């Protein structure tokens, strides 16, 4: 397996800073229990990858924030996520896509975090890095489209985004992803996660059956490993973009289950 193929995994889309709920508190539906959702993006992306899900969760009454990961290291992304959690006014449902599965598995130990939702995500066991998580299964074909720069950051080729990353989106949206991608530090792929949060927090998973970045069989295996409540969506690597209704509804169901408990 080549080094670039070992990196075969994460991603998502476009740009912005911290998203918080744009719905005035007086106009939000009343919610019991978990009312805060923190969304964490993956590699080659930023918080706007969650834009369509954010609006749907706001309509349901949730207070939502989308983290702006710098994608410079595991530690930096965990710190950014913890800052977003700290701004919430109660229990938090923490949601991570792709690379952010690693991030929320570390940041999810925060006392405010009530549960975890993994969306087409990498899920580490204790002490595992991205390379370790991927090792048991053949890499997704998108990994061949990673390109390192002189500073040690990875980007996706246009071909990779069009054919492997977001193949179920309209061409215009795929073109935007090509133009707005955020490079990801290659060093992050070998940084281990310790004290994985899913061992103490209830978890949910979305498996993207047409994922060409992370092997769908790997997504299924790790969902089973953590005993997660799981659904499968016929989606590319970015179901929060291609199927925002299904993703928002699943997050809502997870929050309701936590509230019921």
Question: Is 3-260 in CATH node 3.40.50.1820?
Answer: yes
**At residue 232, does pLDDT exceed 90?**
yes
Mean pLDDT of 195-202: 98
The predicted pLDDT at position 196 comes to 98
For 142-188, give the DSSP string. GGGGEEE-TTSEEEE-HHHIIIIISTTS-HHHHHHHHHH---EEGGG
Domain ranges in the chain are 3-260
CA-to-CA distance for 107 and 101, rounded, in angstroms?
Answer: 10
The predicted pLDDT at position 18 comes to 39
> For 18-52, what is each residue's pLDDT tens digit?
334 444 444 444 455 699 999 999 999 999 999 99
The predicted pLDDT at position 86 comes to 98
pLDDT class for 260, splitting at 50, 70, 90? low
pLDDT class for 259, splitting at 50, 70, 90? confident
If phi over 0 gives left and psi between -120 and 50 gives alpha, with beta otherwise, what is residue 13? Answer: beta
The predicted pLDDT at position 165 comes to 98
The predicted pLDDT at position 21 comes to 41
- Residue 206 bridge partners (DSSP): 119, 231
For 59, other C-beta atoms within 10 Å of its C-beta total 12
- Give the up-direction half-sphere exposure of residue 32: CA atoms within 13 A in the CB hemisphere: 6
**At residue 210, does pLDDT exceed 90?**
yes
What Cα–Cα distance (Å) separates residue 163 from each residue in 13, 63, 206?
Answer: 15, 34, 21
Nearest 10 degrees: Cα torsion 247, 250, 254, 257: 160
> For 59-103, what is each residue's pLDDT tens digit?
999 999 999 999 999 999 999 999 999 999 999 999 999 999 999
> For 63-75, what is each residue's pLDDT tens digit?
999 999 999 999 9
């Amino acid at each position: 397996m080549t080094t670039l193929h070992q990196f075969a995994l994460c991603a998502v889309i476009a740009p912005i800073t911290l998203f918080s709920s744009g719905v005035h508190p007086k106009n939000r539906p009343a919610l019991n229990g978990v009312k805060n959702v923190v969304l964490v993006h993956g590699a080659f992306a930023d918080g706007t990858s969650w834009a369509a899900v954010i609006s749907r969760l706001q309509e349901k009454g949730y207070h939502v924030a989308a983290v702006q990961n710098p994608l410079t290291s595991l530690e930096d992304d965990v710190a950014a996520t913890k800052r977003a959690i700290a701004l919430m006014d109660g229990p938090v449902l923490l949601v991570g896509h792709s690379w952010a599965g690693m991030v929320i598995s570390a940041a999810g130990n925060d006392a405010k975090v009530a549960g975890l939702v993994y969306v087409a995500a990498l899920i580490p066991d204790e002490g595992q890095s991205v390379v370790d998580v991927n090792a048991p299964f053949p890499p997704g074909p998108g990994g061949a489209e990673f390109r390192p720069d002189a500073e040690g950051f990875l980007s996706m080729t246009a071909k990779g985004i069009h054919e492997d990353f977001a193949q179920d989106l309209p061409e215009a949206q795929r073109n935007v992803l090509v133009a707005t991608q955020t490079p990801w530090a290659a060093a992050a792929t070998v940084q281990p996660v310790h004290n994985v949060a899913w061992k103490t927090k209830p978890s949910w998973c979305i498996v993207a059956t047409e994922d060409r970045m992370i092997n769908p069989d790997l997504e299924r295996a790790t969902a089973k490993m953590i005993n997660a409540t799981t659904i499968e969506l016929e989606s590319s690597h970015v179901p929060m973009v291609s199927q925002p209704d299904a993703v928002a509804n699943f997050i809502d169901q997870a929050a309701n289950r936590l509230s019921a408990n």
